[in-house]
Amino acid sequence: MKHDYYIEQSELVLKPLEFIDLEYLRTLRNKNRMFFVNKQKISKKNQEKWFKYYLTKEDDFMFSVVVGKITVGFLGLYNFTNDSAEFGRIVIDETAPRYTAARAICLLLDFFFEKRRLSAVVCSVLKDNSRAKSLYELIGFKKYDESESLIYYKTTKNSNIKTTKKLRSIGIL
């Protein structure tokens, strides 16, 4: 959806996904497609088609992750219900500063737990994606279910507050 949320914490900024970001998103996504459920290579035409559809959705927030003035990745929050949402579509360039993904996710969650008064956020990850599993567990997501190929995680507002304090105390945030 088209939104105007700019979420900032020192040099880290989450800004609305724009048309100009699509080629970099497509490049990163294709480069890391082995970590996504849909592993198909995305064409420029299909990326633009997805973006047009994304703009029509009311419960879908995509962000560019910017460090300094350089875009280093993307993430989203979507499928909102009364008091929960799904986190995902995260892809961060391997050249981004250490802990950029953790910092970006925590910033996004802090903002939406307050802004939308969410009580929980869920996500899913491929079982063989050990980097994502470690990241999600580091930032306070807890496993609550699994299928043949996916692990399902959940975090709550209270858990997020505790995790944020812990990560600040050890210098990650």
pLDDT, tens only, 118-128: 999 999 999 99
Tens-digit pLDDT profile for residues 43-85: 999 999 999 999 999 999 999 999 999 999 999 999 999 899 9
Angle between helices 44-56 and 22-31 (to 10 degrees): 120
Q: How far apart are CA 171 and CA 153, in angstroms?
A: 24
Report DSSP state, residue 43: P
Element (H, E) at 162: helix 157-169
**Helix ranges, 20-71 (H):** 22-31, 44-56
Q: Give me the residue label for tokens 């580091």.
A: 138
What residue ranges define each of the domains in the chain, with the CATH number in brackets?
7-169 (3.40.630.30)
Q: How far apart are CA 71 and CA 122, in angstroms?
A: 25
pTM score of the predicted model = 0.93
